[in-house]
Amino acid sequence: MFRGELLKLTTTAATKVALAVGVLGLVATQLVLVVLLPALASGTIGPGADALGDDLPASGVANASAQLAALSPLGASGGGGSLSIAMLAVLVLGVLAGTTDYRFGGIVPTALAEPRRGRILAAKVVATGVTGLVLGAAYALVSLVALLVSLPATGSALAVGIVDIAAVMARGTVVVALLALLGLGVGVLARNQLAGVLIMLGAAVLELMTQGVAVLISGAQPLWAQVLPLTLSQAAIGSAPAAIPSAAALAALAGWVAIILAAAAAVIRRRDL
């Protein structure tokens, strides 16, 4: 069943588009934020930071923290609680993985071939997880290449060790896979493809809005706002300072995924096909 689910996931046009949008969106983001802006700030390209003045956003890859931030597989702009094209694409990919069978009617013959619906969901989880890991590795490679291109363009030296680079890339790859599984769970619960995508995007935007309101009211980001899924995904990568350690954030994000998938498993067992 795993091969069948993987075949369905990798041969459907919508999933191919989601994969392409994610990778191309990340390439564009990293080229602008990691390569172009630091090059403009250093004067390698254009008249230099002094001439550009306030028109040039603060940017650079000279120090270790900036280089680690540039390595985030979800995009260099992905600070806590923010969205990126790469993140949205992988969430949508997961939703598509959970709803394609319902949209095209493949869920009925699948259930006839394998009446144990828990195994159907398990196969989808494994196939989506593997695809998420591959996509996460591609994301991480794009971010690494962007940083390596930016260093000579700005006259900067590599300030982070190989171990730190590998750790950020590895955690980022796992985070991308977990986000894909989160989308899968939402997709199975929603069943309808359009509804699933809208729910996923709505939840992502609502998380940002809720955090913004909480900061305006309390003056700081409360603890509950730091344990929401998308914020945890950024903290779990560990490419930027966060209130929650990366290991704890990764475990908490996995907990969110487990809860959503458990709900999906309960629903898929009782649902009429």
Residue 214, domain member (yes or no): yes
Indicate the residue type of 20: A
Residue 44, domain member (yes or no): no
Quote the CA–CA distance of 260 and 273 in Å, as a whole number. Answer: 20
Number of domains in the chain: 1
pLDDT value, residue 269: 85
pLDDT value, residue 163: 94
Residue 68, domain member (yes or no): no
Residue 14, domain member (yes or no): yes
pLDDT value, residue 39: 80
Residue 181, domain member (yes or no): yes
For 145, residues 6+ apart whose C-beta sits below 8 A from its C-beta are none
pLDDT value, residue 78: 47
Residue 223, domain member (yes or no): yes
In the block, which residue shows the tokens 């995904």? 233
Quote the CA–CA distance of 73 and 144 in Å, as a whole number. Answer: 9
CA dihedral (153, 157, 162, 167) in degrees, to 10, reads -70
List per-residue pLDDT tens for the chain, 273 residues long. 778 788 888 788 888 888 889 899 999 888 888 888 888 777 777 766 676 676 666 667 778 888 888 898 988 764 445 678 899 999 999 999 999 888 887 888 888 888 888 899 999 999 999 999 999 999 999 999 999 988 888 888 888 899 999 999 999 999 999 999 999 999 999 999 999 999 999 999 999 888 888 888 877 778 888 899 998 998 999 877 778 899 999 999 999 999 999 999 999 888 877
Q: What does 170-239 look like in DSSP terms, one character per residue?
A: HHHHHHHHHHHHHHHHHHHHH-SHHHHHHHHHHHHHHHHHHHHHHHHHHSS--HHHHTSHHHHHHHHHTS
Quote the CA–CA distance of 183 and 128 in Å, as a whole number. Answer: 10
Quote the CA–CA distance of 83 and 205 in Å, as a whole number. Answer: 8
Domain residues for 181?
1-21+81-145+159-270
